[in-house]
Amino acid sequence: MFDVLSEKFQSLFHKLRGYGRLYPKNVEEACAQVRRALLEADVHYKVARDFVARVQAKALGQEVLASLTPGQVFTKIVYDELVELLGEPQEIALSGNPAVVMVIGLQGSGKTTACAKLARLLHKKGRKPLLAAADVYRPAAVEQLRILAGQVGAGFFHRDGAKSLAIAQAGVEEALAKSHDLVILDTAGRLHIDDAMMPELVEIKAALKPSETLLVADGMTGQDAVNIAREFESRLGVDGVVLSKMDGDARGGAALSIRAITGKPIKFLGTGEKLDALEPFQPERMASRILGMGDVVTLVEKAEEAFDAKQAERMGEKLRKKTFSFEDFLEQLRALKKMGPLEDLLGLMPGMGQLKGMKVDGKELVQIEGIIQSMTKAERSNPRLIDGSRRRRIAKGSGTTIQQVNTLLRDFEKMKKMVQGMARGRLPNMAGMR
């Protein structure tokens, strides 16, 4: 997500850091590179043009030209303009009893999955959602939503043979009867916007008066997503956008264009196939990630979700008492995997933006997990038991080599000493670590 734009910006800022001062010519060249970067990231040409004009106007100010840190100043200007372009964060509106969220979009945009992801997210915040399946045209849409509802702990409603409007109205009645305070309505989509789909959606919206109408747009389609959003807004009216499949698009132009073109905020980003891969859209965090500054807040939130507080406290106590074992290490590895792909986590760390293009081999974690699982319980608790014959057995059982087993044993001891030193407040000695 945004890799193309991020790489271009980081290259530009690195070049600017080499200048002692900024001059009008430097600013003009830098702004030309910003414009080129935006267009290559599939940002709408009018948005790119206006963005660069604002950056150039600010960068040509006397205060900036006299600055001794031109790279930092120019970066700050671009950051501020990105935040302005992306708009203020807007939470989903949930009023009424039950609150009704009408989810719309074309077939293939990820609309049904987005309904389930949203239900999961809001359920974790204390809501009791009901997923109502009103897409009666796409084969298997109803069954898909039924399965997803079970996976995210939401209620489910559908009425066989009924029309979409009747299903929507009955879904609200079902929610009232069973004490659900939220109805998420999966409406019918088409392969393209047509005159058969819109009147039906208009009728449902008029009847249910949803507190929120969310459009799911496929971020991978770039400017097509922007055009679709503009069309839905003009013919139906939307309150916000969910950009799906953003993990599959290295450009991200739709995210930077959609608010400027449609006037409607992005409220959520779909960042993966898993049902927890939906995050509220935070412009400041997104601008920071685009510019390679990291996103510590999102990283901490992911960690808090993956690591249980009591578990973390227990691990800290084990480290202080020097009883941290391979069993505990395996537990931490599994929690780390819940946080998502390692290369994505690197992109959230400040100063690690230059590593975004690096492919972190997740297979190594799988191998480590396999080696630990091939140990006996006694061996996990006391690695000193692992002699030559045991190492051969572990390597064979995990499909690895004796050398890989030896490397893990050695690195585990070094890691344990380092972390125990940190637990006692000492600065770790990194010498000798791989």
Structurally, the chain folds into a number of domains equal to: 3
147 plus 197 within the same structural domain: yes
Asked if residue 194 lies in contact with residue 227, where contact means CB atoms within 8 angstroms, the answer is no
User: At residue 308, does pLDDT exceed 80?
Assistant: no
Q: Where are the beta strands (DSSP E) in 271-426?
A: 278-280
Supply the CATH number for residue 37's domain: 1.20.120.140
pLDDT digits (tens, 9 = 90+) for 91-129: 999 998 899 999 999 988 999 999 999 999 999 999 999
Last residue of a domain, one of 291, 319, 338: 291
- The residue segments making up the domain with residue 258 are 99-291
Place of tokens 């050695």: 410
312 plus 341 within the same structural domain: yes
154 plus 242 within the same structural domain: yes
> CA 250, CA 12: separation in Å to the nearest integer?
18
Question: At 307, is the pLDDT very low, low, confident or very high (cuts 50, 70, 90)?
Answer: low
114 plus 251 within the same structural domain: yes
Supply the CATH number for residue 222's domain: 3.40.50.300
Supply the CATH number for residue 416's domain: 1.10.260.30
% of residues, the chain, pLDDT over 70: 79
User: At residue 375, does pLDDT exceed 90?
Assistant: yes
pLDDT, position 193: 76
In a domain, 328, yes or no: yes
pLDDT, position 317: 67
In a domain, 429, yes or no: no
Asked if residue 312 lies in contact with residue 304, where contact means CB atoms within 8 angstroms, the answer is no
Q: Where are the beta strands (DSSP E) in 220-344?
A: 240-244, 266-270, 278-280
In a domain, 433, yes or no: no
In a domain, 91, yes or no: no
Question: At 358, is the pLDDT very low, low, confident or very high (cuts 50, 70, 90)?
Answer: very low
Report the pLDDT averaged over residues 314-326.
Answer: 67
pLDDT digits (tens, 9 = 90+) for 212-241: 999 999 888 878 888 889 889 998 999 999
Say if residue 113 is exposed, middle or buried (CB neighbours under 10 Å; 0-12, 13-18, 19+).
buried
156 plus 217 within the same structural domain: yes
Residue 307: C-alpha distances to residues 119, 277, 337, 338 (Å): 22, 17, 11, 9
Residue 135: C-alpha distances to residues 148, 155, 268, 355 (Å): 15, 17, 22, 43
Residue 22: C-alpha distances to residues 26, 116, 261 (Å): 6, 50, 32
Q: What angle do CA 298, 128, 180 make, to 5 degrees?
A: 155
**Straight-line distance from the first to the last Cα atom of the chain, in angstroms, rounded to the nearest whole number:** 29
139 plus 275 within the same structural domain: yes
> CA 247, CA 151: separation in Å to the nearest integer?
22
> CA 134, CA 101: separation in Å to the nearest integer?
13
Q: Specify the amino acid at residue 82.
A: L
Nearest alpha carbon to residue 253 among 47, 76, 393, 22: 47
Asked if residue 33 lies in contact with residue 380, where contact means CB atoms within 8 angstroms, the answer is no
Last residue of a domain, one of 291, 313, 336: 291
> CA 260, CA 226: separation in Å to the nearest integer?
10
Say if residue 31 is exposed, middle or buried (CB neighbours under 10 Å; 0-12, 13-18, 19+).
buried
Say if residue 122 is exposed, middle or buried (CB neighbours under 10 Å; 0-12, 13-18, 19+).
buried
Residue 98: asked if its preceding bond is cis (omega within 30°), the reply is yes
Nearest alpha carbon to residue 243 among 262, 235, 234: 262
User: At residue 321, does pLDDT exceed 70?
Assistant: no
pLDDT, position 172: 96
Q: Are strands 212-218 and 240-244 parallel, antiparallel or unpaired?
A: parallel
At 386, is the secondary structure helix, strand, or coil? coil
Nearest alpha carbon to residue 337 among 305, 365, 359, 367: 365
240 plus 353 within the same structural domain: no
Q: Specify the amino acid at residue 126.
A: G
pLDDT, position 426: 42
Instruction: Please name every residue paired with 183 in a beta bridge, in sequence order, or none if there are none.
Output: 100, 130
Place of tokens 């891969």: 277
In a domain, 269, yes or no: yes
